[in-house]
A and B are shown apart, each in its own frame.
With several copies, the nearest count.
Chain A
Amino acid sequence: MTNEEVKSIIESLLFVVGDEGIDLKRLVEAISVEEALVVESINELQTEYADRERGFQIVYLGGSYQLTTNSKNAPYIEKMVEDPKNHSISQAALETLAIIAYKQPITRVEVEEIRGVKTDKPLQTLMSKLLIKEVGRAEKTGRAILYGTTREFLFHFGLSTIEDLPPLPDGQDKGEDDEADLFFEKFQEIPE
């Protein structure tokens, strides 16, 4: 494998792993080349990005390599993120809202378990927009606050009751099951 190929693969892998980063061992395993070649390629990429002032940089944090944005461009990121016109409600807040809507009553910790990330900020946002509210305290787990949706929520999404929510998309595949079901249903429909 050429050095350029290794560099290309490293870029792809770093891109996909996102904020988690990836350690050298996993990189080496995934690419199946000498560790030295991986290290050398990372160094070359770092130099290239720096020399050509690219939008990315590779940092080594807590034992893993991570692709991040060039800090020089932070003001533009801020500008994009802040623009209220385009950002009525953040993706994080929407995710959180979906979880609460379907699993209410639910605690912050439970929401965080599902999302896999901290959720204080989105909860605050949703509270301030009156889409969710405290609906009680959890018996166990130190009487943590339980959240639920509000009338405002129903109103905004045009629902008469919470039961009107469509079934949750499951992203994970039920595809195969569906197919099997479909097959059976198809052949069961006709009474003998």
Chain B
Amino acid sequence: MNHYNVKVDAFEGPLDLLLHLINKYEVDIYDIPVSQITDQYLTYIHTMQELELDIASEYLVMAATLLAIKSKTLLPQREEELFEEEHDLEDDPREELVQRLVEYRKYKEAADELKKKESSRSLLYTRPPADVTEYTSEDSNTSIGDVTLYDMLAAFQKMSRRVKEKKPKRTTIKTEEIPIEDRMNEIKQQLRGGGRKRFTDLFTEHEKGPMIVTFLAILELMKTRELSCEQEGNFGEIMIFESERKAME
């Protein structure tokens, strides 16, 4: 099964899968060798089934279409058609599928172009509008104008982006930098001399970083048997205190 190397999630649908096969076997999109491609297509479908993935109905419909085309091409052609090439071309059972594939491929390529545009655009940074309240006197009798729901949502979206942008990256890095040793010492200090503290009270900060550090520090101190903890019953308050061995030192 390995050699199929199926990445189902990499396909955006049956047309995408077909295009993939056409590229992979370097066949001409305008003259698809239906037998070969149908077999390959079915192999993919079977592999998906072997992988126990449910297959979207569109993939099955396409499989049926391919089989129908295949069977048509296998039918012996009638005598008179042999001499009417043009007519023959128009009647090519593959025609409709080819058109769909070509059409789909256009937009797939256009999507790639958009992606390129997106990434070059992402190198340009802007800034939110400056605070102009000092210049304004927003007149109470101006009408709300032709502002639409879309304008309101766009304003909201810009704001959430702006709020996010304001968060300097530095803070994240800084919180990660609290050494566990320091936090261990702080906790030991708090419990020195037989004090008891509720587990939850040790979490003074509510940011993820410090909370994790505190938790790790407690675990570390319990591992080295410097702290013990007690809990009366399920969901009861966990109490943390210096272990007896430590207290006797």
Contacts and interface: CB of A to CB of B under 8 A. Distances in A.
A and B, direct touch (CB closer than 8 Å): yes
A23 B25 CA distance: 51
Nearest to A131: B144
A80 interface: yes
Contacts of B170: 26, 29, 80
Interface stretch (B129-137, B204-212, B232-240): B129-137
Interface string A168-192: 1111100100110111011111101
A117 B139 contact: no
A31 interface: no
Contact of B56 (A17, A18, A20, A190): A190
Interface stretch (B104-112, B195-203, B213-221): B104-112
Contacts of A98: 107-108, 110-111, 113-114, 152-153, 155-156, 159
Interface in A52-75: 57, 59, 66-69, 71, 74
B189 interface: no
Interface centre among B100, B114, B140, B167 (most CB of A within 10 A): B114
Contacts of B75: none
B55 A190 contact: yes
A24 interface: no
A12 B127 CA distance: 10
A16 B124 CA distance: 10
Contact of A18 (B31, B128, B152): B128
A115 B114 contact: no
Interface stretch (B6-14, B35-43, B176-184, B241-249): B6-14
Given A77-B132, A128-B140, A68 B126 contact: yes
Contacts, number: 300
A175 B12 contact: no
B120 A116 contact: no
B117 interface: yes
A152 B121 CA distance: 13
Nearest to A22: B168
B125 A115 contact: no
Contacts of A77: 125, 132, 135
B149 A88 contact: no
Interface string B16-43: 1000000000001111000000000000
A41 B150 CA distance: 33
Contacts of B224: none
Interface residues of B, number: 90
B68 interface: no
B65 to A, nearest CB: 10
Contacts of B120: 71, 158
Given A94-B151, A101-B152, A115-B104, A121 B126 contact: no
Residue from A88, A131, A175, A183 having most chain B Cβ neighbours under 10 A: A88
Interface in A1-30: 12, 15-20, 26, 29
Contacts of A175: 30
18 contacts: A20-B166, A77-B125, A79-B169, A81-B168, A88-B122, A95-B108, A98-B107, A98-B108, A115-B163, A116-B14, A117-B12, A150-B150, A157-B114, A158-B124, A181-B30, A183-B9, A186-B85, A187-B8
Interface of A: 12, 15-20, 26, 29, 57, 59, 66-69, 71, 74, 77-95, 97-99, 101-102, 114-118, 121, 124-125, 128-131, 133, 150-152, 156-159, 165-166, 168-172, 175, 178-179, 181-183, 185-190, 192
Given A187-B56, A190-B82, 12 more contacts: A19-B128, A19-B129, A20-B166, A84-B161, A97-B114, A115-B13, A116-B100, A125-B138, A130-B150, A150-B154, A166-B149, A183-B89
Interface of B: 8-9, 12-16, 28-31, 53-58, 60, 62, 77, 82, 85, 88-89, 100, 102-111, 113-115, 117-133, 135-140, 142-170
